[in-house]
Structure 1
């Protein structure tokens, strides 16, 4: 059942107050708002475990996430960086549900305060954010869908620039961003000033990080296109 405006306001205010009182690196355990959401999270995880389909899980997460909005907003507004399993889980669920902008809003807080991912996620926060968003973009690109928000990819690159992760994971993100930057460019259309060159640089970085990332064909095509535009401009 959807929260009323009064309930949402109360939950947000309580989350803001309690997260503001909890020191960085300490746990939110024991805080009323946190315990309420954690209990809800445990129930929702049980519902998700009963579904085998990843698409089905993503659809259910999309339905469940609105219940967590007031709490998340309260923590983002006033939190000091206390360890918070609700925030880290909501971040992942938003990625799974396709709410990439919302996921990055939470990721900015999680990364800033160095919140630790629960053991079940196995990867560091920075690696998870970079790799999951890159994988979603690459999947869309492979299917011929060029609508994945390039702003999300650039924001993810910036946000995870100083995060430690395997080179292969970071290469995926550069590859996805490079391909997205080159969308729509052809012999007749060069795009904005520097766009073609920027796409080439991103692809080169992806290949530098992981030679087998799959970007060599894209790079060859982009470099040939750049030569054509250079010749036509002379």
Structure 2
């Protein structure tokens, strides 16, 4: 279901106004309406067990949130916005990694947190979800842009998270770069190993070291 151009414009304006308000964004009627929409879509997703089907539904519903997201980002809204946090996660699941990272960067800059039902903080969720997206693509023999993982590393910076989570990101980056940039791949796999000895990259490191030795 797509919104009419008039509704899209109205939603974006509401988002900008809400984001610029001095008080809590929660008092904005536009935000309340978006939370209602979010609740409706979350209930729909909760009734489905298939991960593939859920991803398809997320692709279908995400366009409804674009004007709101664009409005908040355009206004550089600093108030916590749970709608954007769900959209960030859904964008990863739907394969819109660039869109997810755009929200992630904004959320981290303003110190936002994930909604109450989440146990992970923003940076941990982003690191793990992007690492898993790359891993799943490789397992499906599909390409994954290493720049997306480099951007993720940049977004999370030195923020606190479990070492295992950061290791997962370096591991996926090492795997993605194995063929095209073996030296860089080795560096990321070694970083993963330093962070988490049990992350399962020992053989990958040995193979890459051998490959680099033979090439030189």
Specify the TM-score bucket, using the shorter chain as the normaliser: over 0.9
Residue by residue, what CA displacement relative to the aligned partner does 1:39-97 show, whole Å, maximum 9, x if unpaired?
Answer: 10011111111111111111111100000000000001103310111011111111111
Q: Which has the larger radius of gyration?
A: 1
1:189 aligned residue:
none
Q: CA deviation at 1:30?
A: 1.4
Please give the secondary structure, in 2, of the residue aligned with 1:29: helix
1:213 aligned residue:
199
Alignment match of 2:159 (pick from 163, 182, 201): 163
1:149 aligned residue:
145
Stretches of structure 1 that go unaligned for 5 or more consecutive residues are 185-194
TM-score (norm 2): 0.95
- RMSD (CA atoms): 1.3
Stretches of structure 2 that go unaligned for 5 or more consecutive residues are none
Please give the secondary structure, in 2, of the residue aligned with 1:123: coil
Task: Work out whether 1:136 is the aligned partner of 2:122.
Answer: no
1:175 aligned residue:
171
CA change 1:214–1:22 in 2 (3 A) is farther
CA change 1:62–1:22 in 2 (3 A) is farther
**Quick one: distance in 2 between partners of 1:92 and 1:212?**
27
Task: Work out whether 1:35 is the aligned partner of 2:32.
Answer: yes
TM-score (norm 1): 0.88
Aligned length: 216
